[in-house]
Amino acid sequence: MPVLLDEVRDAILRLPQGKAAGYDKLPAELLKLDSAAIERLFCTLCNKILDTSIWPEDWKRSIFVTISEVMGTLKCEEHHTVALITDQPC
C-alpha cells in the first residue's frame, strides 16, 4: 500500500519544533518552509523505499551525545546518552 501525500503532510506538520537537528543537520522548521515541494519529495522517496526496501544511508545514522547528570563529573554512571537521529516523515 503506497504512502499518500496526505500522510506525509500530516507527518511533517507533527514534527517537533525547537529540537536539535539530526545527522543531516536539517531542523524540522526547514522541512516546513516549502511544504508542497517537500511533501511531494518525501512522498516519492517513501514510496521508493517501500518498493525497493533500500533506505538512504544517512537515515541509518545517529549521533550519540553524553549528557552529565552531575556538573563536572567524569564518572560514567553520572551521565546519560541521547541519540540525535534524522526526523523521517515516513
Q: What number of other Cβ atoms are within 10 A of residue 38's Cβ?
A: 17
Distance between CA 32 and CA 28 in Å, rounded? 7
DSSP 76: G
Q: For residue 23, what are the domain limits?
A: 5-85
* Size of the chain, expressed as the number of residues it contains: 90
Q: Is residue 90 part of a domain?
A: no
Q: Which residue has the higher pLDDT, 26 or 4?
A: 4
Long-range contacts from 18-21, C-beta under 8 angstroms, 24+ separation: 19/87, 20/84, 21/84
> Residues 65-80: what's their mean pLDDT?
86
Q: Is residue 70 part of a domain?
A: yes
Q: Is residue 40 part of a domain?
A: yes
Give 64's strand partners: 83
Q: How many domains does the chain have?
A: 1
* Chain segment 50-59, per-residue pLDDT in tens: 999 998 887 7
